[in-house]
Chain A
Amino acid sequence: MAANKASRLGEETRIDKVNAELVVLTYGTIVSQLCKDFDSDYVEVNKQLDKMGYNIGLRLIEDYLAKSNTVRRCSNFKETAEMIAKVGFKIFLNITPTIANWTNDGKQFSLIFDENPFADFVELPDDGRAQDELWYSNILCGVLRGALEMVQMQVEAHFISDVLRGNDTTEMRITLIRYIDDELPPEDD
Protein backbone atom coordinates (compact mmCIF):
# COMPACT_ATOMS: atom_id res chain seq x y z
CA MET A 1 0.00 0.00 0.00
CA ALA A 2 2.53 2.51 1.17
CA ALA A 3 5.00 1.07 -1.31
CA ASN A 4 2.65 1.63 -4.20
CA LYS A 5 1.95 5.14 -3.13
CA ALA A 6 5.64 5.91 -2.94
CA SER A 7 6.42 4.61 -6.39
CA ARG A 8 3.46 6.47 -7.86
CA LEU A 9 4.66 9.65 -6.24
CA GLY A 10 8.12 9.10 -7.69
CA GLU A 11 6.74 8.52 -11.18
CA GLU A 12 4.40 11.47 -11.10
CA THR A 13 6.85 14.04 -9.93
CA ARG A 14 7.89 16.04 -12.94
CA ILE A 15 11.31 17.53 -12.71
CA ASP A 16 13.68 19.37 -14.97
CA LYS A 17 16.15 17.15 -16.71
CA VAL A 18 19.83 17.59 -17.16
CA ASN A 19 22.13 15.77 -19.51
CA ALA A 20 23.36 12.60 -17.84
CA GLU A 21 26.87 12.78 -19.28
CA LEU A 22 27.31 16.21 -17.76
CA VAL A 23 26.51 14.89 -14.30
CA VAL A 24 28.59 11.76 -14.75
CA LEU A 25 31.63 13.60 -16.03
CA THR A 26 31.35 16.33 -13.40
CA TYR A 27 31.15 13.83 -10.59
CA GLY A 28 33.95 11.77 -12.12
CA THR A 29 36.17 14.81 -12.29
CA ILE A 30 35.50 15.61 -8.65
CA VAL A 31 36.46 12.13 -7.54
CA SER A 32 39.57 11.89 -9.66
CA GLN A 33 40.66 15.36 -8.59
CA LEU A 34 40.20 14.41 -4.94
CA CYS A 35 42.31 11.33 -5.55
CA LYS A 36 45.03 13.54 -6.98
CA ASP A 37 44.79 16.17 -4.23
CA PHE A 38 45.05 13.59 -1.49
CA ASP A 39 47.80 11.60 -3.23
CA SER A 40 45.54 8.60 -3.66
CA ASP A 41 44.73 8.40 0.05
CA TYR A 42 41.41 6.74 -0.71
CA VAL A 43 40.25 6.60 2.90
CA GLU A 44 40.52 10.36 3.00
CA VAL A 45 38.81 10.67 -0.39
CA ASN A 46 35.87 8.63 0.94
CA LYS A 47 35.67 10.99 3.90
CA GLN A 48 35.73 14.07 1.69
CA LEU A 49 33.05 12.69 -0.60
CA ASP A 50 30.88 11.91 2.39
CA LYS A 51 31.38 15.43 3.72
CA MET A 52 30.50 16.96 0.35
CA GLY A 53 27.44 14.78 0.16
CA TYR A 54 26.43 15.81 3.67
CA ASN A 55 26.47 19.45 2.66
CA ILE A 56 24.46 18.65 -0.44
CA GLY A 57 21.96 16.67 1.60
CA LEU A 58 21.35 19.53 4.02
CA ARG A 59 20.16 21.67 1.12
CA LEU A 60 18.67 19.03 -1.11
CA ILE A 61 16.10 17.93 1.45
CA GLU A 62 14.31 21.25 1.05
CA ASP A 63 14.08 20.71 -2.67
CA TYR A 64 12.91 17.17 -2.13
CA LEU A 65 10.13 18.22 0.23
CA ALA A 66 8.94 20.83 -2.23
CA LYS A 67 9.05 18.62 -5.29
CA SER A 68 7.59 15.51 -3.76
CA ASN A 69 4.56 17.29 -2.30
CA THR A 70 4.80 15.34 0.90
CA VAL A 71 1.99 16.18 3.22
CA ARG A 72 2.88 14.22 6.30
CA ARG A 73 5.74 12.64 8.16
CA CYS A 74 6.76 9.08 7.58
CA SER A 75 5.28 7.06 10.39
CA ASN A 76 8.20 4.66 10.65
CA PHE A 77 11.65 4.03 9.28
CA LYS A 78 10.36 1.52 6.75
CA GLU A 79 8.22 4.17 5.18
CA THR A 80 11.21 6.48 5.15
CA ALA A 81 13.18 3.86 3.26
CA GLU A 82 10.42 3.57 0.67
CA MET A 83 10.36 7.30 0.17
CA ILE A 84 14.13 7.52 -0.17
CA ALA A 85 14.32 4.77 -2.75
CA LYS A 86 11.20 5.40 -4.77
CA VAL A 87 10.79 9.14 -4.55
CA GLY A 88 14.14 10.67 -3.65
CA PHE A 89 16.37 8.64 -5.92
CA LYS A 90 13.71 8.69 -8.62
CA ILE A 91 13.51 12.47 -8.59
CA PHE A 92 17.19 13.26 -8.46
CA LEU A 93 18.89 10.39 -10.26
CA ASN A 94 15.96 8.73 -12.04
CA ILE A 95 16.82 5.37 -10.55
CA THR A 96 14.96 3.24 -8.03
CA PRO A 97 17.29 1.20 -5.84
CA THR A 98 15.87 -1.94 -4.29
CA ILE A 99 15.28 -2.04 -0.55
CA ALA A 100 16.45 -5.26 1.05
CA ASN A 101 17.98 -6.97 4.05
CA TRP A 102 16.00 -5.36 6.87
CA THR A 103 17.15 -6.24 10.34
CA ASN A 104 14.50 -7.51 12.71
CA ASP A 105 14.37 -4.32 14.72
CA GLY A 106 13.57 -2.39 11.55
CA LYS A 107 16.44 0.00 12.04
CA GLN A 108 18.85 -1.10 9.37
CA PHE A 109 18.36 -1.79 5.67
CA SER A 110 20.23 -1.99 2.39
CA LEU A 111 19.76 -0.10 -0.82
CA ILE A 112 20.81 -2.21 -3.75
CA PHE A 113 21.64 -0.20 -6.85
CA ASP A 114 20.90 -2.15 -10.01
CA GLU A 115 22.13 0.82 -11.98
CA ASN A 116 24.29 3.65 -10.82
CA PRO A 117 24.51 6.57 -13.21
CA PHE A 118 27.60 7.93 -11.45
CA ALA A 119 29.56 4.80 -12.21
CA ASP A 120 28.89 4.61 -15.94
CA PHE A 121 32.17 4.37 -17.86
CA VAL A 122 34.20 4.27 -14.66
CA GLU A 123 37.12 1.95 -14.17
CA LEU A 124 38.88 2.33 -10.84
CA PRO A 125 42.62 3.09 -10.96
CA ASP A 126 44.65 -0.06 -11.26
CA ASP A 127 47.06 0.64 -8.41
CA GLY A 128 46.12 -2.32 -6.27
CA ARG A 129 44.54 -0.18 -3.54
CA ALA A 130 41.65 1.67 -5.13
CA GLN A 131 39.82 -1.61 -5.63
CA ASP A 132 39.90 -2.23 -1.89
CA GLU A 133 39.71 1.25 -0.45
CA LEU A 134 37.80 3.69 -2.65
CA TRP A 135 34.01 3.84 -2.49
CA TYR A 136 33.45 5.69 -5.73
CA SER A 137 29.84 6.75 -5.09
CA ASN A 138 30.42 7.61 -1.44
CA ILE A 139 28.87 11.03 -1.93
CA LEU A 140 25.47 9.34 -1.84
CA CYS A 141 26.03 8.19 1.75
CA GLY A 142 26.67 11.76 2.76
CA VAL A 143 23.63 13.03 0.92
CA LEU A 144 21.36 10.63 2.78
CA ARG A 145 22.99 11.40 6.10
CA GLY A 146 22.62 15.14 5.58
CA ALA A 147 19.10 15.03 4.24
CA LEU A 148 17.78 12.76 6.98
CA GLU A 149 19.44 14.77 9.67
CA MET A 150 17.38 17.77 8.59
CA VAL A 151 14.21 15.78 9.19
CA GLN A 152 15.19 14.62 12.65
CA MET A 153 16.80 11.33 11.82
CA GLN A 154 20.37 10.56 12.63
CA VAL A 155 21.57 7.80 10.37
CA GLU A 156 24.80 6.13 9.46
CA ALA A 157 25.29 5.10 5.83
CA HIS A 158 28.11 3.30 4.12
CA PHE A 159 28.67 1.13 1.07
CA ILE A 160 29.40 -2.52 1.64
CA SER A 161 29.86 -3.61 -1.98
CA ASP A 162 30.31 -1.99 -5.37
CA VAL A 163 30.29 -3.46 -8.86
CA LEU A 164 33.26 -1.22 -9.67
CA ARG A 165 35.27 -3.29 -7.21
CA GLY A 166 34.18 -6.48 -8.89
CA ASN A 167 31.32 -7.29 -6.50
CA ASP A 168 28.07 -8.61 -7.91
CA THR A 169 25.96 -5.75 -6.62
CA THR A 170 26.29 -2.21 -5.39
CA GLU A 171 24.87 -2.14 -1.89
CA MET A 172 24.59 0.63 0.66
CA ARG A 173 23.80 -0.11 4.30
CA ILE A 174 21.80 2.46 6.22
CA THR A 175 21.33 2.39 9.97
CA LEU A 176 18.99 4.54 12.00
CA ILE A 177 20.83 5.67 15.07
CA ARG A 178 18.12 7.78 16.70
CA TYR A 179 15.39 10.26 16.11
CA ILE A 180 16.65 13.68 17.04
CA ASP A 181 14.37 15.56 19.38
CA ASP A 182 13.82 19.12 18.47
CA GLU A 183 16.24 20.98 20.60
CA LEU A 184 14.81 23.46 23.01
CA PRO A 185 16.33 26.90 22.98
CA PRO A 186 18.73 27.37 25.87
CA GLU A 187 16.93 28.63 28.90
CA ASP A 188 18.04 31.91 30.23
CA ASP A 189 18.44 31.74 33.94
Chain B
Amino acid sequence: MQEQRGTYNVKAGLAEMLKGGVIMDVTTPEQAIIAEKAGAVAVMALERVPADIRKAGGVARMADPRIIKSIQEAVSIPVMAKVRIGHFVEAQVLEALEVDYIDESEVLTPADEQYHIDKWQFNVPFVCGARDLGEALRRIAEGAAMIRTKGEPGTGNVVEAVRHLRAVNAQIRQVVATPESELPDLAKELKAPLDLVKKVKELGRLPVVNFSAGGIATAADAALMMQLGADGIFVGSGVFKSQNPEKTARAIVRATLHYNDPKVIAEVSEDVGEAMPGLEMASLEAKDRMQDRGI
Protein backbone atom coordinates (compact mmCIF):
# COMPACT_ATOMS: atom_id res chain seq x y z
CA MET B 1 0.00 0.00 0.00
CA GLN B 2 1.20 3.52 -0.85
CA GLU B 3 2.01 5.88 2.02
CA GLN B 4 0.99 9.48 1.56
CA ARG B 5 2.87 12.15 3.50
CA GLY B 6 2.09 15.84 3.98
CA THR B 7 -1.62 15.40 3.24
CA TYR B 8 -3.98 17.96 4.79
CA ASN B 9 -5.42 15.20 6.97
CA VAL B 10 -1.98 14.46 8.39
CA LYS B 11 -1.11 18.16 8.81
CA ALA B 12 -4.36 19.15 10.53
CA GLY B 13 -4.19 15.86 12.44
CA LEU B 14 -1.22 16.87 14.58
CA ALA B 15 -3.09 20.00 15.69
CA GLU B 16 -6.03 17.77 16.65
CA MET B 17 -3.66 15.79 18.91
CA LEU B 18 -2.62 18.99 20.70
CA LYS B 19 -6.21 19.92 21.65
CA GLY B 20 -6.79 20.66 25.32
CA GLY B 21 -3.07 21.28 25.76
CA VAL B 22 -0.66 24.14 26.32
CA ILE B 23 2.11 25.13 23.89
CA MET B 24 4.91 27.14 25.50
CA ASP B 25 7.49 29.55 24.07
CA VAL B 26 11.03 28.52 25.00
CA THR B 27 14.45 29.95 24.15
CA THR B 28 16.81 27.30 25.56
CA PRO B 29 16.89 23.49 25.97
CA GLU B 30 16.64 23.99 29.75
CA GLN B 31 13.38 25.93 29.34
CA ALA B 32 12.07 23.27 26.93
CA ILE B 33 12.68 20.58 29.56
CA ILE B 34 10.85 22.66 32.19
CA ALA B 35 7.92 22.99 29.76
CA GLU B 36 7.84 19.25 28.98
CA LYS B 37 8.03 18.29 32.66
CA ALA B 38 5.20 20.70 33.46
CA GLY B 39 3.02 18.87 30.90
CA ALA B 40 3.23 21.12 27.81
CA VAL B 41 2.03 19.32 24.65
CA ALA B 42 4.54 21.17 22.45
CA VAL B 43 7.11 23.95 22.61
CA MET B 44 7.74 26.94 20.34
CA ALA B 45 11.49 27.39 19.83
CA LEU B 46 12.44 31.07 19.73
CA GLU B 47 15.47 33.31 20.05
CA ARG B 48 13.52 35.72 22.29
CA VAL B 49 10.07 35.59 23.84
CA PRO B 50 7.62 38.24 22.54
CA ALA B 51 8.03 40.54 25.56
CA ASP B 52 11.77 40.74 24.82
CA ILE B 53 11.18 41.17 21.08
CA ARG B 54 8.96 44.10 21.98
CA LYS B 55 11.68 45.59 24.20
CA ALA B 56 14.50 45.02 21.71
CA GLY B 57 12.74 46.62 18.74
CA GLY B 58 14.36 46.40 15.29
CA VAL B 59 13.74 43.48 12.92
CA ALA B 60 12.77 40.16 14.51
CA ARG B 61 13.60 37.08 12.39
CA MET B 62 13.48 33.28 12.44
CA ALA B 63 15.58 31.79 15.28
CA ASP B 64 19.13 30.55 14.75
CA PRO B 65 18.88 26.89 13.58
CA ARG B 66 21.30 25.93 16.37
CA ILE B 67 18.74 27.01 18.99
CA ILE B 68 16.01 25.02 17.25
CA LYS B 69 18.18 21.90 16.95
CA SER B 70 19.28 22.04 20.58
CA ILE B 71 15.64 22.23 21.67
CA GLN B 72 14.67 19.36 19.34
CA GLU B 73 17.37 17.26 20.99
CA ALA B 74 16.25 18.17 24.50
CA VAL B 75 12.58 17.13 24.39
CA SER B 76 10.32 14.41 22.95
CA ILE B 77 7.21 16.57 22.47
CA PRO B 78 6.63 18.40 19.14
CA VAL B 79 8.83 21.43 18.46
CA MET B 80 7.36 24.39 16.59
CA ALA B 81 9.20 27.49 15.33
CA LYS B 82 8.25 30.88 13.90
CA VAL B 83 8.88 32.43 10.51
CA ARG B 84 8.20 35.98 9.34
CA ILE B 85 4.90 36.48 7.52
CA GLY B 86 5.51 35.81 3.82
CA HIS B 87 9.11 34.62 4.30
CA PHE B 88 8.84 31.31 2.48
CA VAL B 89 12.60 30.70 2.54
CA GLU B 90 12.68 30.83 6.34
CA ALA B 91 9.88 28.25 6.10
CA GLN B 92 11.96 26.10 3.74
CA VAL B 93 14.79 26.24 6.30
CA LEU B 94 12.47 25.15 9.12
CA GLU B 95 11.13 22.32 6.95
CA ALA B 96 14.72 21.20 6.30
CA LEU B 97 15.28 21.23 10.08
CA GLU B 98 12.17 19.02 10.41
CA VAL B 99 10.34 21.21 12.91
CA ASP B 100 6.92 19.71 13.63
CA TYR B 101 4.88 22.88 13.02
CA ILE B 102 5.69 26.29 11.52
CA ASP B 103 4.09 29.41 12.99
CA GLU B 104 3.84 32.14 10.34
CA SER B 105 3.78 34.79 13.00
CA GLU B 106 3.05 38.47 13.46
CA VAL B 107 5.41 38.39 16.45
CA LEU B 108 8.29 38.55 13.95
CA THR B 109 8.71 41.47 11.55
CA PRO B 110 6.70 40.74 8.36
CA ALA B 111 8.78 40.04 5.24
CA ASP B 112 5.90 40.57 2.78
CA GLU B 113 3.13 43.12 3.21
CA GLN B 114 0.96 41.61 0.47
CA TYR B 115 1.27 37.84 0.45
CA HIS B 116 1.40 35.20 3.11
CA ILE B 117 3.35 31.99 2.45
CA ASP B 118 1.70 29.52 0.05
CA LYS B 119 1.48 26.85 2.70
CA TRP B 120 0.17 24.16 0.32
CA GLN B 121 3.74 23.84 -1.01
CA PHE B 122 5.00 22.39 2.27
CA ASN B 123 4.78 18.98 3.93
CA VAL B 124 5.24 20.56 7.36
CA PRO B 125 1.98 22.01 8.72
CA PHE B 126 1.48 25.71 9.49
CA VAL B 127 -0.34 27.59 12.22
CA CYS B 128 -1.33 31.23 11.59
CA GLY B 129 -2.80 34.03 13.69
CA ALA B 130 -6.22 35.61 13.17
CA ARG B 131 -8.29 38.35 14.80
CA ASP B 132 -11.60 37.40 13.22
CA LEU B 133 -13.27 34.70 11.12
CA GLY B 134 -12.40 36.23 7.75
CA GLU B 135 -8.72 36.36 8.63
CA ALA B 136 -8.81 32.77 9.91
CA LEU B 137 -10.46 31.48 6.70
CA ARG B 138 -8.03 33.42 4.48
CA ARG B 139 -5.14 31.69 6.26
CA ILE B 140 -6.84 28.28 5.93
CA ALA B 141 -7.34 28.97 2.21
CA GLU B 142 -3.57 29.54 1.99
CA GLY B 143 -3.03 26.12 3.55
CA ALA B 144 -2.84 26.76 7.31
CA ALA B 145 -3.78 23.56 9.19
CA MET B 146 -4.25 25.25 12.56
CA ILE B 147 -5.35 28.71 13.69
CA ARG B 148 -4.57 30.68 16.81
CA THR B 149 -6.39 33.86 17.68
CA LYS B 150 -3.73 36.58 17.85
CA GLY B 151 -4.32 38.54 21.01
CA GLU B 152 -1.50 41.02 21.62
CA PRO B 153 1.75 39.12 22.15
CA GLY B 154 4.23 39.99 24.89
CA THR B 155 1.82 42.12 26.90
CA GLY B 156 0.65 39.72 29.62
CA ASN B 157 -2.75 41.34 29.02
CA VAL B 158 -5.49 38.92 28.00
CA VAL B 159 -7.95 41.55 26.73
CA GLU B 160 -7.07 41.24 23.03
CA ALA B 161 -7.09 37.44 23.17
CA VAL B 162 -10.63 37.66 24.54
CA ARG B 163 -11.65 40.17 21.90
CA HIS B 164 -10.38 38.02 19.04
CA LEU B 165 -11.83 34.73 20.23
CA ARG B 166 -15.19 36.38 20.89
CA ALA B 167 -15.09 37.94 17.42
CA VAL B 168 -14.40 34.58 15.74
CA ASN B 169 -17.15 32.87 17.75
CA ALA B 170 -19.71 35.62 17.08
CA GLN B 171 -19.01 35.46 13.35
CA ILE B 172 -19.29 31.66 13.35
CA ARG B 173 -22.72 31.99 14.97
CA GLN B 174 -23.64 34.54 12.32
CA VAL B 175 -22.56 32.17 9.51
CA VAL B 176 -24.53 29.30 11.05
CA ALA B 177 -27.66 31.47 11.28
CA THR B 178 -27.37 32.82 7.74
CA PRO B 179 -29.44 31.05 5.05
CA GLU B 180 -27.45 29.29 2.32
CA SER B 181 -28.65 31.77 -0.32
CA GLU B 182 -27.14 34.72 1.56
CA LEU B 183 -23.77 33.09 2.23
CA PRO B 184 -22.05 34.46 -0.92
CA ASP B 185 -22.74 37.99 0.28
CA LEU B 186 -21.56 37.22 3.81
CA ALA B 187 -18.40 35.61 2.39
CA LYS B 188 -17.72 38.83 0.51
CA GLU B 189 -18.20 40.83 3.69
CA LEU B 190 -15.85 38.55 5.62
CA LYS B 191 -13.36 38.62 2.71
CA ALA B 192 -13.27 34.83 2.95
CA PRO B 193 -13.63 32.07 0.31
CA LEU B 194 -17.25 30.91 -0.06
CA ASP B 195 -16.45 27.18 0.14
CA LEU B 196 -14.82 27.66 3.55
CA VAL B 197 -17.72 29.81 4.79
CA LYS B 198 -20.05 26.96 3.75
CA LYS B 199 -17.84 24.51 5.62
CA VAL B 200 -18.10 26.65 8.78
CA LYS B 201 -21.89 26.64 8.47
CA GLU B 202 -21.91 22.86 8.08
CA LEU B 203 -19.58 22.22 11.05
CA GLY B 204 -20.65 25.06 13.34
CA ARG B 205 -16.96 25.73 14.02
CA LEU B 206 -13.69 26.42 12.19
CA PRO B 207 -12.63 23.51 9.97
CA VAL B 208 -9.30 23.33 11.88
CA VAL B 209 -8.25 23.54 15.52
CA ASN B 210 -8.26 27.04 17.03
CA PHE B 211 -5.95 27.83 19.95
CA SER B 212 -5.86 31.08 21.91
CA ALA B 213 -2.68 33.18 22.07
CA GLY B 214 -1.31 36.61 22.88
CA GLY B 215 -1.41 37.83 26.46
CA ILE B 216 -2.20 34.72 28.53
CA ALA B 217 -0.24 35.08 31.79
CA THR B 218 -2.06 33.14 34.52
CA ALA B 219 -3.90 29.87 35.12
CA ALA B 220 -7.17 31.80 35.29
CA ASP B 221 -6.40 33.48 31.94
CA ALA B 222 -5.93 30.04 30.35
CA ALA B 223 -9.17 28.70 31.82
CA LEU B 224 -10.99 31.86 30.69
CA MET B 225 -9.95 31.26 27.08
CA MET B 226 -10.91 27.58 27.33
CA GLN B 227 -14.34 28.47 28.72
CA LEU B 228 -14.76 30.91 25.84
CA GLY B 229 -14.24 27.98 23.47
CA ALA B 230 -10.52 27.80 22.63
CA ASP B 231 -9.26 24.33 21.68
CA GLY B 232 -6.00 24.93 23.57
CA ILE B 233 -3.53 27.57 24.71
CA PHE B 234 -0.30 29.19 23.49
CA VAL B 235 1.69 30.85 26.27
CA GLY B 236 4.44 33.11 25.02
CA SER B 237 6.15 35.29 27.57
CA GLY B 238 3.72 34.26 30.32
CA VAL B 239 5.78 31.34 31.61
CA PHE B 240 9.41 32.39 31.42
CA LYS B 241 8.80 36.06 32.26
CA SER B 242 7.00 35.09 35.46
CA GLN B 243 8.68 34.96 38.85
CA ASN B 244 8.50 31.16 39.04
CA PRO B 245 8.35 29.55 35.57
CA GLU B 246 8.03 25.93 36.82
CA LYS B 247 5.04 26.72 39.00
CA THR B 248 3.42 29.02 36.45
CA ALA B 249 3.83 26.39 33.70
CA ARG B 250 2.32 23.64 35.86
CA ALA B 251 -0.57 25.85 36.94
CA ILE B 252 -1.45 26.87 33.38
CA VAL B 253 -1.39 23.23 32.15
CA ARG B 254 -3.66 22.05 34.96
CA ALA B 255 -6.07 24.97 34.64
CA THR B 256 -6.33 24.26 30.89
CA LEU B 257 -7.34 20.66 31.60
CA HIS B 258 -9.76 21.46 34.44
CA TYR B 259 -10.97 24.74 32.96
CA ASN B 260 -14.51 24.16 34.16
CA ASP B 261 -13.50 23.37 37.74
CA PRO B 262 -12.89 26.61 39.73
CA LYS B 263 -11.70 24.59 42.74
CA VAL B 264 -8.85 23.11 40.73
CA ILE B 265 -8.03 26.52 39.27
CA ALA B 266 -7.95 28.00 42.79
CA GLU B 267 -5.71 25.18 43.97
CA VAL B 268 -3.18 25.48 41.17
CA SER B 269 -3.16 29.30 41.34
CA GLU B 270 -2.08 29.32 44.96
CA ASP B 271 1.41 30.52 45.72
CA VAL B 272 2.76 30.51 42.15
CA GLY B 273 4.52 33.86 42.59
CA GLU B 274 4.18 37.00 40.48
CA ALA B 275 2.86 36.71 36.94
CA MET B 276 4.77 38.50 34.19
CA PRO B 277 4.50 42.31 34.29
CA GLY B 278 1.56 43.41 32.12
CA LEU B 279 1.08 46.21 29.60
CA GLU B 280 -2.02 48.34 29.27
CA MET B 281 -3.26 48.38 25.64
CA ALA B 282 -3.69 52.19 25.66
CA SER B 283 0.04 52.50 26.31
CA LEU B 284 0.85 50.78 23.00
CA GLU B 285 1.39 52.95 19.95
CA ALA B 286 -0.08 51.80 16.65
CA LYS B 287 3.35 50.77 15.36
CA ASP B 288 3.82 48.48 18.38
CA ARG B 289 0.61 46.52 17.84
CA MET B 290 1.74 43.14 16.47
CA GLN B 291 -1.84 41.97 15.83
CA ASP B 292 -2.28 44.42 12.94
CA ARG B 293 0.49 42.77 10.93
CA GLY B 294 -0.44 40.36 8.11
CA ILE B 295 -4.22 40.50 8.04
Asked if A and B bind, the verdict is: no
Q: Which residues of B contact A (CB under 8 A)?
A: none
